[in-house]
Structure 1
Amino acid sequence: MIREAIEAFASRSPSRFAILVFAAIIALFTILLSLPAASADGTATNFPDAFFTATSMVCVAGLTTVDMATHWSPLGNAFVFLATQIGALGVLTLASILGAIIAGRLGLRARLMAASDTNPLRLHAGPVAEGQAIRLGEIGGLLATVAISALVIEVGVAIAVLPSVLATGYGLAESLWYSIFYSAMAFTNTGVTPNVEGLTPFAHDYWFLLMLMFGVTLGSIGFPVLYALSRNFRRRAKWSLHVKLTIVAWSALWILGTIAFLLLEQSNGATFRNMNPGEQVFQSGFMSTMARSGGFALIPTSELDSASLFLTDMLMFIGGGSASTAGGIKVTTIAVLLLAAFAEARGRSSIEIFQRRIPGDVLRLAVSVLLWGAVTVALATIVLLTMTDAPFEFVLFDVISGFGTVGLSTGVTANLPDPGVYLMALVMFMGRVGTVTLAAALAVTQKGQLFTRPEERPIVG
């Protein structure tokens, strides 16, 4: 009876089912983190902090209201670790797996939900005849790729950074845990540090920092890209438009971000002025990587120049690849919008790239994602400004970091009153679930229209 009811609900509205699954997982981890055994001092964590931590970890956002290195007991740290692993799977992928468990098989509906994590158009139009992401017949392979890639990459990064952690003087058991934790926080793009000193002991260990950047990059480019590369790494002709667009857009933004940070922080005495050229280049690359959704920071965010803060805002808002552990509106979204602008400037009626044409419904979805994201950030910033005396640029930074599930903070989030904590949790939830998915879930029905109204062109621009 229960199984049939769940299957029926998932069939009627996969997006609502996915959001409820995610919300239920957050509620479960809120309860677990509220337990006295989860805190280091053996007392129950208050509800706002437990709820915010659960939301942040499941949404792989990385923002915190407590000191993550000292507040939680080993059991609490285990809950944090598990929450990030579950959250990294993605909303609809997670729901499809649960649906498969309930139904005992990976049926069409479960495949559609998992496919919708790679292409949100399927939420609106059902099966979509395109090869941009993952075909329905490949969903089983995608889910296997999600699990295998997460395990292989996290284990590989953990092994790679273990000598660096041991070299800092930590014991073997502690070093093993820190290595595993850092690896997981890198691949899931959460950015939480398990040790009290944070990244300070590794500030000049470029191997350790490079491995963190490697893990963050693999997590942020998206599982469909990892899946395609694992099958056709040497055969670029078989790469889909989505794969090509993601790789090119992600790389271009990383290079531009690195150059911009290098130029903007040159005269900042609190950051780059006392570094040699090599250190400046590396730090710029590190910051450009982590601003995409990684969340690790060697330089306190509050010490960055105002221009660098705004640059970071833009990179965080864009985020990483679709169906990845990163947040933001995604690099393919901004790529489609830029391609549309270039096509319009050149007087072309169609959007074309890599000898392929991008249909109009993709552009409409990209515009919707951008507008919903901008509205979410704007409203949350306005409300939070009434709750805190922090500067506007600091509040905006933390809101975008929450929406982009990045984890970088100017210190505003940790000092918010309880209503602000709940609002920031909602921003993180919307950023991870996706505004388009949320809008589709809230829509009662999708009404068809059997007629077309007369066309009239308003003046734009």
Structure 2
Amino acid sequence: MPAQLARIVAHLTSRRPGDDSRWRLGLGNPGRTVVAGFAAGLVVGTVLLMLPVARTGPGGATPLEALFTATSALCVTGLAVVDTATYWTPFGQVTILALIQVGGFGIMTLASLLGLLISRRLGLGSRIVAAAETKSVGLGDVRTVLLGVAKISLTVEAVTALVLTVRFATAYDHPVGTSLWLGVFHAVSAFNNAGFALFSDNLVGFAADPWICLPIAVAVILGGLGFPVIMELLRRRTRPRRWSVHTRLTLLMTAVLLVGGTVFMTVAEWGNPGTLGALDPAGRLLAGFFQAVMPRTAGFNSVDIGSMNTGTLLGTDVLMFIGGGSAGTAGGIKVGTFAVLLVAIVAELRAAPDAEIFDRRLSPTAVRQALAVALLSVAAVVASTITIAMTSTYTLDQILYEVVSAFATVGLSTGITADLSPGHQLILVVLMFAGRLGPVTLASALVLREQNRLFRRPEGRPLIG
């Protein structure tokens, strides 16, 4: 799929502005091509997981079990209706790992190439600004994007796998082969923000082990930053003043949410014997940080989510919905979208004529697009939550947590995923697929559909508030 997308983008960027033939390709427009590519991968993954060789018990997995797991892996979510550690054979686990890697690489490539396409479709003045702000994407060179994503992914995964392998072998007496497999699986799952683990309790057994939790957390954070940000940091690490607005926004919001999330999680759960309260002070701080990292990006958990306080679950919902950086493996509406809306609100409260940040003025179009992505995402979450709440006996906080986790492709759960009805599980499947591809393809479609009118209608001012 990434290769097909690269050919499409190369073709599109070579066309003259206004040339309607840019859509006359054998694979259709980019949005449809992306959805079709992920759908094809989903079908292949589902078929492989239905094979008897993929399951430890007699026969193969049911179609719904295979579909749910394949969707969760390909969309790098982490929700599961069966125990990954015991239900799937090594073949099944390798299939899940392959789907995670393809899904993570595909979404990073997709978002980066669509960014390239969008900047090429702008006018000359806007293209000059876009080129200055997104040089890390490799404008004009699709091959740079593909190779860059591959190199970054493999490097981070290899380093993380090495640290985890050594720890599993030396501290937990696993054989070298088993330690290597555990290290590779969790490293790939971490960088791609998937949250799948090969332990029945996820990572609860390692809540106080910094040599397991911290490498995984670092890999998750790097994957959630996004390819353009990582590339720019590598190229301009000694020149922060020349960082683009996107990189500055992503780093700032990531730092704020990590620090704020850590304080919130630690304080809210400090005395809860079902979560942090069972650990010593150092372990509580580590687990608090770990659980602040995971809701925004990946579904690993080092404490029992089902035992968290209701207020903590609601705060986690907010972190999951915001998500991580654009063109990365994290889900949610993205920190960039959230930051744009926040800056626009501040500008309106100050009665400022423009929304500005880092000595740059945000275009009204960017604000409208951010608002569209956010409100449509809220609509998807609310509609799904109401539907499940009307036809199940679970509490609203449990249902909302599950729905937001699925749509934001996080993968955390209060433990009700496997007990939901088949209809409810299918709703989560649709949410995972829409949550992974929806915000990216929607945002790009909004930009690509921009039209310059030669007239403006008379202004109307309805009452607000």
Structure 1 length-normalised TM: 0.89
Q: Is the 8 A contact 2:207 2:283 kept in 1?
A: no
* Residue identity in the other structure for 1:20: A
Q: Is the 8 A contact 2:80 2:418 kept in 1?
A: yes
Aligned residue in 1 for 2:100? 84
How much has 1:236 moved relative to structure 2? Answer: 1.2
Q: d(CA) in 2 for partners of 1:444 and 1:342?
A: 28
Percentage of identical aligned residues: 36
| Match status 1:59 vs 2:75 | yes
Secondary structure at the counterpart of residue 434 of structure 1: helix
Q: d(CA) in 2 for partners of 1:135 and 1:174?
A: 39
Match of 1:137 among 106, 115, 140: 140
- Deviates most, 254-263 or 268-277: 268-277
Aligned residue in 2 for 1:309? 313
| Match status 1:279 vs 2:277 | no
How much has 1:203 moved relative to structure 2? Answer: 2.7
Aligned residue in 2 for 1:199? 203
Structure 2 length-normalised TM: 0.88
Give the total of aligned pairs: 439
| Match status 1:22 vs 2:38 | yes
Aligned residue in 1 for 2:461? 457
Aligned residue in 2 for 1:256? 260
Aligned residue in 1 for 2:160? 157
Secondary structure at the counterpart of residue 284 of structure 2: helix
Match of 1:291 among 284, 292, 295: 295
Aligned residue in 2 for 1:417? 421
Aligned residue in 2 for 1:34? 50
* Residue identity in the other structure for 2:457: R
RMSD: 2.6
- Deviates most, 258-267 or 23-32: 258-267
How much has 1:187 moved relative to structure 2? Answer: 0.4
Secondary structure at the counterpart of residue 70 of structure 1: helix
Aligned residue in 1 for 2:91? 75
How much has 1:297 moved relative to structure 2? Answer: 0.7
Secondary structure at the counterpart of residue 155 of structure 1: helix
* Residue identity in the other structure for 2:272: N
Q: 1:205 to 1:120 in 2, by over 3 A?
A: farther
Q: 1:444 to 1:358 in 2, by over 3 A?
A: closer
Aligned residue in 1 for 2:113? 115
Secondary structure at the counterpart of residue 66 of structure 1: coil
Q: 1:440 to 1:217 in 2, by over 3 A?
A: closer
Unaligned ranges ≥5, structure 1: 95-112
Match of 1:364 among 365, 368, 375: 368
Secondary structure at the counterpart of residue 351 of structure 2: coil
Q: 1:447 to 1:353 in 2, by over 3 A?
A: closer
How much has 1:42 moved relative to structure 2? Answer: 4.8
Q: d(CA) in 1 for partners of 2:290 and 2:447?
A: 41
Q: 1:136 to 1:439 in 2, by over 3 A?
A: closer
Unaligned ranges ≥5, structure 2: 12-23
* Residue identity in the other structure for 2:133: Q
Aligned residue in 2 for 1:334? 338
Matches within 5 A, 1:210-225: 210-225=214-229
* Residue identity in the other structure for 2:274: A
Q: d(CA) in 2 for partners of 1:413 and 1:459?
A: 44
* Residue identity in the other structure for 2:152: S
Matches within 5 A, 1:180-199: 180-196=184-200, 198-199=202-203
Aligned residue in 2 for 1:105? none
Q: 1:260 to 1:450 in 2, by over 3 A?
A: same
Q: Is the 8 A contact 2:50 2:60 kept in 1?
A: yes
* Residue identity in the other structure for 1:28: V
How much has 1:27 moved relative to structure 2? Answer: 1.1
Q: 1:342 to 1:218 in 2, by over 3 A?
A: same
Q: Is the 8 A contact 2:340 2:370 kept in 1?
A: yes
* Residue identity in the other structure for 1:70: T
How much has 1:138 moved relative to structure 2? Answer: 4.7
Which whole-Å deviations, capped at 9, do the CAs of 1:388-421 have from their partners, x for residues lacking one?
Answer: 2111100000100011111100122211221111
- Deviates most, 447-456 or 222-231: 447-456
Aligned residue in 2 for 1:103? none
Q: d(CA) in 1 for partners of 2:199 and 2:287?
A: 21
Secondary structure at the counterpart of residue 85 of structure 2: coil
- Deviates most, 272-281 or 165-174: 272-281
Q: 1:204 to 1:267 in 2, by over 3 A?
A: closer
How much has 1:160 moved relative to structure 2? Answer: 0.8
